Amino acid sequence: MNENILIIERRLFSAIGHERTQVNAINELIGNEKSIVISCKGINLNNMPFKNKVISKLPKFNLKEEGKEPLKYIQKSGDSLIKIIEENKFKKNTKIIIPSARKLEIALIIYLYKQNKIPLTLNIVIRILDLVFIKDLTKSQLNIFIELINKGLIKLFTETEELIKKIENNFKIKCSGVLILPVSVPYNLKINNRKIRKKDHLYIGCLGGPRRSKGTFIIPKIIKNLRKYFKKNKINFKVTFIIQMSKDKNKRRILFKIAEFLSRHISSSVKVKYVYGVEDNKKFILLLKSINIFLLPYSNIHYKYSGSGFITDAIFLEKPIINSEGMAMNDLRRFENSISVSNINDYSSAIIKISKNYEYYVSNSKFAKKYLKNKIRKSFDAILR
């Protein structure tokens, strides 16, 4: 596939998260690293996990300036982008993909069209991951955005079926479909899962940035309840929770560790291992591979429409998931490859249930993986056409 593709990602400075790995995902789906990445000034490009050419000439990322003078910042960003397009003499069939568009990126494209500063022949693909990025548009911006989508000048994608329905119901916007991009685990990664039998040692992963929306503060309670369950029922296999914490969040980390420490006396069979920053994505994948069950006690308010990269990571690795009931991406978990939990006290029984039937859940995860890969391939091919 030899189309010219520009990927706009202003947040390449973020070493943790999907901002960099989604470029890898696009490369893998295209089959080469010829796409050009456009980002902000002042970014250290030495440690990027991809070899694509990066043009870092958009205004330096500055949330304060963006918030204080949004129109000025949008204009400055828009003028920089059109200058990049003109200087590099991109072809008329050039496709612009904004894989994680927020309000600024949407407003930027609206500004360019409004000022007649961007060729109508360019194909714009915008993917949003959260409803708030449309909600935050002004009424005028929203009307123009809808007009551009209706005219076919912008193709709008989301990461979940739930978000598509919400956008279509709330704003009467017709989305082009769901576009899921692999986050940490590559699309074509080959795996070899070790068999886990009853009474073995189970590793349960609670990874990602520690935030209230990800259920960070209820995890010590889940651990405590499991320790009580082990003691009461005389369970004799071992469980280790792998918890990712941030060294920058001292108060949050200390409070979490104290809460977890206070229940250690209940059962020595349930342990906790803390991990912090992982140097690169390859080492992070090794960490993900070491996990047997992905635990996602996320807020079903924050994640009612938004997806989670750990759901796709777990499926690509053919690992079971325990998630809070009401989370999005339900179509990826309908293969009995996960257990949805509505009450904090039910996490223990879900862990025990999967541990006793581990190969069953792994086998079902293979069906989920096949469905996910087909879904990604189909939607991405539709973009390239």
Residue 37 reports pLDDT greater than 90: yes
Residues 33, 81, single domain; the answer is: yes
Higher per-residue pLDDT: 321 or 260: 321
Higher per-residue pLDDT: 31 or 47: 31
Residues 240, 151, single domain; the answer is: no
- Position 235 scores a pLDDT of 85
CB-CB contact of 359 with 195 (8 Å): yes
DSSP string, 149-198: HHTTSEEEEES-HHHHHHHHHHH-----EE-----SS-TT----PPP--T
Residues 134, 208, single domain; the answer is: no
Q: At 86, which amino acid appears?
A: E
pLDDT digits (tens, 9 = 90+) for 218-240: 999 999 999 999 999 988 889 99
Residue 347 reports pLDDT greater than 60: yes
Residues 145, 216, single domain; the answer is: no
- Does residue 305 fall inside a structural domain? yes
- Does residue 188 fall inside a structural domain? no
CB-CB contact of 107 with 141 (8 Å): yes
**Residue 248 tokens, joined:** 């920058």
Residue 247 reports pLDDT greater than 60: yes
Residue 279 reports pLDDT greater than 70: no
pLDDT digits (tens, 9 = 90+) for 192-210: 766 655 557 999 999 988 8
Residue 136 reports pLDDT greater than 80: yes
- Position 2 scores a pLDDT of 42
**Residue 299 tokens, joined:** 């807020």
Q: Which range is least confidently modeled, 103-117, 145-159, 161-175, 241-255?
A: 241-255
Query: pLDDT-derived band of residue 120, with 50, 70 and 90 as boundaries?
Result: low
Residue 159 reports pLDDT greater than 80: yes
d(CA 323, CA 19): 24
- Does residue 383 fall inside a structural domain? no
Highest average pLDDT, of 90-104, 116-130, 328-342, comes from 328-342
Residues 173, 228, single domain; the answer is: no
- Does residue 382 fall inside a structural domain? no
- Does residue 94 fall inside a structural domain? yes
The alpha helices in the chain, defined as continuous H runs, are: 18-30, 63-68, 70-88, 103-114, 132-135, 139-150, 161-171, 219-233, 250-261, 281-289, 309-316, 347-356, 358-384
Query: Of the candidates 196, 220, 181, 183, which has an alpha carbon nearest to the alpha carbon of residue 383?
Result: 181
Q: At 55, which amino acid appears?
A: I
Q: Which range is least confidently modeled, 163-172, 243-252, 254-263?
A: 243-252
Residue 1 reports pLDDT greater than 70: no
Domain enclosing residue 277, as ranges: 201-371
Query: What's the whole-number mean pLDDT along residues 262-286?
Result: 88
- Position 252 scores a pLDDT of 80
**Could you tell me which residues come within 8 angstroms of residue 219 by beta carbon, excluding any fewer than 6 positions away?**
206, 241, 243, 256, 260, 295, 297
- Position 313 scores a pLDDT of 96
Query: Of the candidates 48, 59, 54, 44, which has an alpha carbon nearest to the alpha carbon of residue 7?
Result: 54
Residue 99 reports pLDDT greater than 50: yes
Residue at which a domain ends, from 181, 209, 229: 181
Residue 168 reports pLDDT greater than 80: yes
d(CA 90, CA 99): 20
Strands 36-40 and 54-58: parallel
pLDDT digits (tens, 9 = 90+) for 289-314: 999 999 999 998 999 999 999 999 99
Residues 104, 18, single domain; the answer is: yes
Looking at residue 63, which CATH number applies to its domain?
A: 3.40.50.11930
- Does residue 384 fall inside a structural domain? no
Three-state SS letters, 201-252:
EEEEEECCCCCHHHCHHHHHHHHHHHHHHHHHHCCCCEEEEEEECCCCCHHH
Residues 205, 177, single domain; the answer is: no
CB-CB contact of 43 with 11 (8 Å): no
Percent of the chain predicted with pLDDT > 90:
65
- Does residue 365 fall inside a structural domain? yes
Q: C-alpha angle with apex 359: 354 to 363, nearest 5 degrees?
A: 110
Looking at residue 256, which CATH number applies to its domain?
A: 3.40.50.2000
- Position 68 scores a pLDDT of 74
Residues 233, 265, single domain; the answer is: yes
User: Could you give the 3-state DSSP secondary structure of residue 94?
Assistant: coil
Residues 110, 213, single domain; the answer is: no
User: Could you give the 3-state DSSP secondary structure of residue 12?
Assistant: coil
d(CA 303, CA 233): 33
d(CA 43, CA 80): 16
pLDDT digits (tens, 9 = 90+) for 46-86: 888 899 999 999 999 888 877 777 888 899 999 999 889 88
- Does residue 191 fall inside a structural domain? no
Residues 209, 314, single domain; the answer is: yes
The count of structural domains within the chain is: 2
Residues 219, 167, single domain; the answer is: no
Rounded (10°) CA dihedral 364, 31, 155, 164: 10
Q: How does DSSP classify residue 122? A: S
Residue at which a domain ends, from 124, 149, 181: 181
CA 202 to centroid of chain Cα atoms: 25
Average pLDDT, the chain: 90
Query: What's the whole-number mean pLDDT along residues 7-18?
Result: 86
- Position 193 scores a pLDDT of 63
Residues 141, 84, single domain; the answer is: yes
